[in-house]
Amino acid sequence: MLNISAFIFYIFVMSFAPGPNAVMAMANANKYGFKKSLEFILGVFTGVLLIMLLSSYFNFFFFKFIPKIQIFMQIFGAIFMIYLAYSIIKPKDDKNDETTTEFEKPNSKLYFIGLILQFINPQTILFGITVFSNFITPYYKTNLALITFSFSISLISSLAISSWALFGTVFNRFLSKYQKPFNAVMSLLLVYCAIMVLNVI
């Protein structure tokens, strides 16, 4: 029988723990506001949902296959996180004060960044594999159950990321006074996440 308390505790710890999603959500909300950061959060939700669904239906296959490509996932994930770190700390273009990074342009790709980040972040994929192999598929195998669990986990993850974005919005006035140090800290946190990914979290 499913251990509900252990399952819920694991989901909330993994969802609310600081990581690349949290760092990006807080940085985006601080720069563009909470409403704009919802694009990134929606991308995270979509990515997590897809990974949860794949993990639920192909759990055994992923469990056997992931170790073979894990090193490539770690490398690509780390490179992408370092690129995001650079995008956060990148100085403004003197020729155009309204242009800082590609994420600030009207045709922002925040949704796709949030989506792609899930598929190259080993944390998210391993989270999906472990939560389904240990807590769900041993007890629930119907389509309705797997879809419901996948949607619920994705929703909790998105709410967790939203809380980080809300933090960045609430303290926007304070953080705006220290924009450069804040961006530097956010960039360093992403670099730290990249290092942790390479070391196999």
- Which of 71-80, 108-117, 192-201 comes out lowest in average pLDDT? 192-201
Q: Are 60 and 158 in contact (CB under 8 A)?
A: no
User: String of b and e for 64-85 (b: at least 16 CB within 10 Å)?
Assistant: eeeeeeeeebbebbbebbbebb
Give the model's pLDDT for residue 92: 55
Q: How many distinct structural domains can be found in the chain? A: 1
The sign of the dihedral angle between the CA atoms of 71, 77, 78, 83 is positive
Q: Say if 15 falls within a structural domain.
A: no
Question: What is the domain range of residue 107?
Answer: 21-198
179 located within any domain: yes
Residue 149 has pLDDT above 90, yes or no: yes
134, amino acid identity = N
62: in domain: yes
Integer angstrom CA distances of residue 46 from 18, 53, 134, 153: 19, 11, 23, 11
Structure tokens at 23: 């760092």
Residue 175 lies in a domain: yes
Q: Are 164 and 37 in contact (CB under 8 A)?
A: no
Average pLDDT in the 39-56 region? 94
pTM over 0.85: no
- Res. 145 pLDDT band, cuts 50 70 90: very high
Q: Does residue 83 lie within any of the structural domains?
A: yes
Q: Is residue 13 part of a domain?
A: no
Q: Determine, yes or no, domain membership for 82.
A: yes
Distance, in Å, from the CA atom of 182 to the CA atom of 69, rounded to the nearest integer, reads 35
DSSP code of residue 104: G
Q: H helices within 58-142, ranges in order?
A: 59-89, 110-119, 122-131
Residue 10 inside a domain? The answer is no
Average confidence score pLDDT of the chain:
80
Q: Is the pLDDT of residue 95 over 50?
A: no
Question: For residues 193 and 77, is the Cβ–Cβ distance under 8 A?
Answer: no
- Mean pLDDT value across residues 146-172: 90
